[in-house]
């Protein structure tokens, strides 16, 4: 567990912070996910961290309460060759939400560092421990837990609605784009500029009639940019 003379620590890759916006202390959702898959932070491949971070940013942008079960619905966990294979997320039968943040993370394993507490009681720090127990697995685990979607886990009504809203979006969303919105004051505007029509639908604005089209904007669908023609005033077809 570690003590004052042997403080706990974790290994982290530089790209987690530099490219993906991972921060310490981990969010409660991140701790819950690491516990659910029984994996240390460094066991999860960078692209998989990208999916998880982008999910949190997307939910924040759309005003959806983050939920572990909602995230699990869209993904499954695959394991590399034991005992030191990577844990990687792939789309479930429902399909993943995001494109890969990077097609190739070359040499990322050589860019790592150790994070540990200094002059702090490890059982009272709140970063690694809560109530005397680790908030997540600190060290490499020999038996990560696979999952395939949310399975038979019971969803709440609000989680079912959140899944339906996210399924209405075009897939895959651009992971880099979504991650770039994390610290933006205008998250919705950034997402809307790329996925205008689908963004309006998922925000509950209904289905629109497009008549007397005069304006153009660029949006993204199935990973390709398209020119969408939209009327200045949108006529609502559904209350």
| Tens-digit pLDDT profile for residues 9-33 | 899 999 999 999 999 899 999 999 9
- Looking at 167, 195, 221, the residue that finishes a domain is 167
69 located within any domain: yes
Is there a single domain that holds both residue 56 and residue 135? yes
Please state, in angstroms and as integers, the Cα–Cα distance from residue 63 to each residue in 66, 77, 118, 166, 174, following that order.
9, 26, 37, 11, 19
| Tens-digit pLDDT profile for residues 41-97 | 999 999 999 999 999 999 999 999 999 999 999 999 999 888 788 899 999 999 999
174 located within any domain: no
Is there a single domain that holds both residue 93 and residue 138? yes
Q: What is the pLDDT of residue 195?
A: 66
Q: What is the pLDDT of residue 123?
A: 66
Burial of 95 (0-12, 13-18, 19+ CB in 10 A): exposed
90 located within any domain: yes
Is there a single domain that holds both residue 43 and residue 73? yes
Is there a single domain that holds both residue 129 and residue 30? yes
Is there a single domain that holds both residue 195 and residue 122? no
Strands 133-134 and 87-91: unpaired
User: What percentage of residues in the chain have a pLDDT greater than 70?
Assistant: 77
Is there a single domain that holds both residue 126 and residue 200? no
- Looking at 134, 167, 200, the residue that finishes a domain is 167
Confidence of residue 187 (pLDDT cuts 50, 70, 90): confident
Is there a single domain that holds both residue 62 and residue 25? yes
Q: Which residues form the domain of 24?
A: 9-167
Q: Is the pLDDT at 107 greater than 60, yes or no?
A: yes
Is there a single domain that holds both residue 87 and residue 160? yes
153 located within any domain: yes
Is there a single domain that holds both residue 79 and residue 128? yes
178 located within any domain: no
Is there a single domain that holds both residue 151 and residue 124? yes
Confidence of residue 234 (pLDDT cuts 50, 70, 90): very low
108 located within any domain: yes
1 located within any domain: no
Which is more confident, 104 or 172? 172
Q: Which residues of 157-167 are buried (b: 16+ CB within 10 A; e: fewer)?
A: eebeebbebbe
180 located within any domain: no
Instruction: Specify the number of domains making up the chain.
Output: 2
Is there a single domain that holds both residue 64 and residue 134? yes
Q: What is the pLDDT of residue 4?
A: 40
Is there a single domain that holds both residue 123 and residue 224? no
- Looking at 167, 198, 226, the residue that finishes a domain is 167
No. of helices (H) and no. of strands (E), the chain = 8, 10
| Tens-digit pLDDT profile for residues 150-176 | 988 899 999 999 999 999 888 899 999
Averaged pLDDT score across all residues of the chain: 80
């Amino acid at each position: 567990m570690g003590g004052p003379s042997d403080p706990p620590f974790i290994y982290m890759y530089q790209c987690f912070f530099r490219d993906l916006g991972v921060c310490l202390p981990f969010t409660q959702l991140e701790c819950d996910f690491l516990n659910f898959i029984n994996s240390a932070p460094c066991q999860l491949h960078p692209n998989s961290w990208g999916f998880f971070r982008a999910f949190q940013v997307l939910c924040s942008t759309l005003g959806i309460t983050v939920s572990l079960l909602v995230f699990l619905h869209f993904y499954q966990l695959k394991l590399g060759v034991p005992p030191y294979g990577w844990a990687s997320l792939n789309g479930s039968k429902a399909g993943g939400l995001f494109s890969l943040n990077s097609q190739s993370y070359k040499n990322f394993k050589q860019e790592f560092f150790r994070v540990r507490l200094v002059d702090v009681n490890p059982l009272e720090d709140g970063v690694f421990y809560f109530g005397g127990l680790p908030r997540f697995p600190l060290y490499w685990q020999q038996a990560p837990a696979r999952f395939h979607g949310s399975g038979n886990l019971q969803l709440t009504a609000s989680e079912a609605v959140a899944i339906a809203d996210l399924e209405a979006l075009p897939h895959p969303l651009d992971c880099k784009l979504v991650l770039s919105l994390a610290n933006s004051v205008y998250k919705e505007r950034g997402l809307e500029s790329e996925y205008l029509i689908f963004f309006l639908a998922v925000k509950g604005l209904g289905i629109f009639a497009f008549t007397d089209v005069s304006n153009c904007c660029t949006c993204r669908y199935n990973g390709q940019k398209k020119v969408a023609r939209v009327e200045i005033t949108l006529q609502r077809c559904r209350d």
